[in-house]
């Protein structure tokens, strides 16, 4: 068989070779279950069961699983890893890290605020949809959650515009028929960053490749001795190769499963249905935001039918800032992805004057960042405190409370001189 990814340099060639007869036969005869082509369905169910019934408190910054649950969860998985790290975090367990990515990007689990705590809990409606799917449908919905919707910012990393499929294709091109060996820790350094160890772990869980584990050294984490491509991985990536290289799989704002169905259903006829989500509608009412910067904060009420542009200007008014600069709101959606909504004069939509407050799908406890003036980078924390019933007396934004002195927007040489004298 021609090395699948020796063709990286001619990816624009429309005459890409088709699957061999043996590859077609392999895909058509494969029966997907909890044990094949990999253990992804088995281990994903372990993570679902782990969150029953009340979820688990996660970290406040990146909302990752806490140290106290990682060792126990690792021991239950199909490929528990050894680590000699003193304080391993979620990233130290690549299989858990990858499964967490799927859990969030599939929408099966989402964050809920309980006071100052962030709790990762199962979404009853999405879990019900998941329960109706057969094994083949679950497998490919999780595959899409990974390759299409699984942006690495869910894991607290920088977003990657190329996507996980492109990352995996690049790794595949470096794995020879006899396997890729890592005689020393430093040899596996490259795959730790690209495609990332969680993607390597998911390649094994989905049955694309096999991993030979090694013994970790003192003070170090997961040790990989070698990677070996599997025939199923060769075949499936052959089908997905054009999509990954040509950028046809875009991380859209709206998550819809079934994107790969036209390409893969001819080989997997049992793939008929997909995860569905309740329609997110407009939330009416009076939104109460606590906006903080430094030691000062303001409480702002704004009707749901007003746009983010109104909120942006009200924040500036509340802190005595002028309107002379661009701004951007950012927040994590239910899938853990960072959504950015910018000033109307910015180049990339969506724009703040076109998005109503009630369309943000925020719940009390949710936070946004309001970044104002990309030169000075004023960062306001915007937390939704409550959504009160509609009130005809509040027809425009209103500043309810003022606490602390606002920071001075502009500094002059005289201000600096007085500071030095003080």
Q: How confident is the model at residue 228 (pLDDT cuts 50, 70, 90)?
A: very high
Number of helical (H) and strand (E) elements in the chain, helices listed first: 13, 13
Spatial contact of 91 and 112, defined as CB atoms under 8 Å apart: no
* DSSP symbol at 356: B
What six digits make up the tokens of 344? Answer: 């109307």
Q: How confident is the model at residue 90 (pLDDT cuts 50, 70, 90)?
A: very high
CA 368 to chain centre: 16
For all residues of the chain together, what is the average pLDDT? 90
Q: How confident is the model at residue 131 (pLDDT cuts 50, 70, 90)?
A: very high
Instruction: Compute, in degrees rounded to 10, the torsion defined by CA atoms 53, 54, 55, 57.
Output: -160
| Radius of gyration of the chain from its Cα atoms, rounded to whole angstroms | 25
Spatial contact of 274 and 255, defined as CB atoms under 8 Å apart: no
- Among the listed residues 384, 381, 396, 372, the one whose alpha carbon sits nearest the alpha carbon of residue 321: 372
Spatial contact of 387 and 285, defined as CB atoms under 8 Å apart: yes
Dist CA 174 CA 315 (whole Å):
51
pTM: 0.89
Share of the chain above pLDDT 70, in %: 91
Mean pLDDT of 8-12: 41
- Position 113 scores a pLDDT of 86
Tens-digit pLDDT profile for residues 11-48: 434 344 479 999 999 999 999 999 999 999 999 999 99
Question: Is pLDDT of 9 > 60?
Answer: no
Q: Strand, coil or helix: what is 184?
A: coil
Question: Is pLDDT of 247 > 80?
Answer: no
Dist CA 28 CA 329 (whole Å):
47
What six digits make up the tokens of 24? Answer: 């077609």
Tens-digit pLDDT profile for residues 56-70: 999 988 999 999 999
- Position 159 scores a pLDDT of 78
Dist CA 389 CA 420 (whole Å):
50
Mean pLDDT of 400-416: 83
Tens-digit pLDDT profile for residues 189-217: 999 988 999 999 999 999 999 999 999 99
Question: Is pLDDT of 392 > 60?
Answer: yes
Dist CA 208 CA 216 (whole Å):
24
Residues 6+ apart with CB under 8 A from 216: 82, 83, 84, 222, 223
Spatial contact of 235 and 27, defined as CB atoms under 8 Å apart: yes
Centre a 10 Å sphere on the Cβ of residue 341 and count the other Cβ atoms it contains.
Answer: 24
* DSSP symbol at 271: -
- Position 330 scores a pLDDT of 95
Centre a 10 Å sphere on the Cβ of residue 35 and count the other Cβ atoms it contains.
Answer: 11
Residues 6+ apart with CB under 8 A from 160: 151, 152, 167
- Position 14 scores a pLDDT of 39
User: Residue holding tokens 């869980």?
Assistant: 205
Dist CA 129 CA 63 (whole Å):
24
Mean pLDDT of 103-107: 96
- Among the listed residues 114, 115, 145, 161, the one whose alpha carbon sits nearest the alpha carbon of residue 40: 145
Q: How confident is the model at residue 5 (pLDDT cuts 50, 70, 90)?
A: very low
Share of the chain above pLDDT 90, in %: 78
Tens-digit pLDDT profile for residues 296-341: 999 999 999 999 999 999 999 999 999 999 999 999 988 988 899 9
- Position 285 scores a pLDDT of 96
Structural domains in the chain plus CATH codes:
8-264 (no CATH), 286-413 (3.10.290.30)
CA distances from 169 to 129, 150, 342 (A): 31, 16, 33
Dist CA 282 CA 34 (whole Å):
39
Spatial contact of 39 and 79, defined as CB atoms under 8 Å apart: yes
Q: How confident is the model at residue 6 (pLDDT cuts 50, 70, 90)?
A: very low
The residue ranking higher by pLDDT, 6 or 385, is: 385
- Position 275 scores a pLDDT of 97
């Amino acid at each position: 068989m021609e090395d699948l990814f020796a063709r990286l340099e001619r990816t624009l060639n429309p005459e890409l070779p088709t699957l061999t007869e043996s590859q077609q036969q392999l895909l058509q005869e494969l029966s997907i279950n909890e044990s094949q082509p990999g253990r992804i369905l088995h281990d994903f169910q372990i993570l679902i069961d782990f969150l029953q019934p009340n979820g688990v408190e996660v970290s406040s910054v990146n909302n990752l699983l806490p140290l106290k649950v990682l060792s126990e969860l690792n021991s239950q998985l199909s490929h528990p890893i050894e680590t000699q790290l003193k304080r391993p975090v979620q990233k130290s367990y690549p299989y858990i890290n990858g499964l967490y990515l799927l859990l969030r990007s599939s929408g099966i689990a989402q964050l809920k605020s309980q006071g100052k705590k962030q709790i990762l809990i199962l979404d009853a409606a999405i879990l019900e949809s998941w329960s109706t799917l057969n094994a083949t449908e679950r497998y490919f919905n999780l595959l899409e959650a990974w390759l299409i919707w699984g942006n690495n910012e869910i894991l607290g990393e920088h977003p990657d515009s190329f996507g996980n499929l492109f990352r995996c294709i690049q790794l595949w091109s470096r794995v020879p028929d006899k396997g890729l060996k890592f005689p020393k820790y430093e040899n596996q350094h490259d795959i730790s960053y690209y495609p990332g160890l969680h993607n390597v772990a998911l390649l094994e869980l989905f049955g694309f490749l096999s991993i030979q584990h090694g013994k970790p050294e003192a003070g170090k984490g997961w040790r990989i001795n070698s990677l070996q491509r599997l025939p199923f991985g060769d075949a499936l990536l052959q089908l997905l190769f054009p999509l990954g290289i040509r950028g046809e799989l875009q991380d859209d704002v709206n998550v819809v499963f079934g994107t790969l169905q036209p390409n893969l259903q001819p080989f997997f006829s049992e793939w008929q249905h997909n995860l569905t989500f309740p329609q997110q509608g407009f939330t009416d009412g009076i939104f109460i935001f606590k906006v903080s910067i430094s030691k000062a904060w303001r409480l702002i009420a704004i009707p749901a039918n007003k746009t983010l542009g109104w909120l942006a200007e009200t924040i500036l008014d509340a802190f005595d800032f002028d309107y002379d600069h661009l701004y951007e709101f950012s927040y994590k959606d239910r899938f853990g992805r960072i959504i950015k909504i910018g000033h109307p004069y910015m180049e990339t939509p969506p724009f703040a004057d076109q998005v109503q407050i009630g369309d943000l799908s925020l719940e009390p406890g949710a936070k946004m960042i309001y970044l104002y003036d990309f030169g000075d980078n004023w960062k306001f924390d915007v937390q939704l405190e409550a959504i009160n019933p509609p009130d005809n007396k509040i027809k425009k934004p209103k500043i309810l409370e003022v606490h602390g002195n606002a920071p001075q927007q502009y500094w002059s040489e005289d201000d600096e001189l007085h500071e030095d004298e003080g």
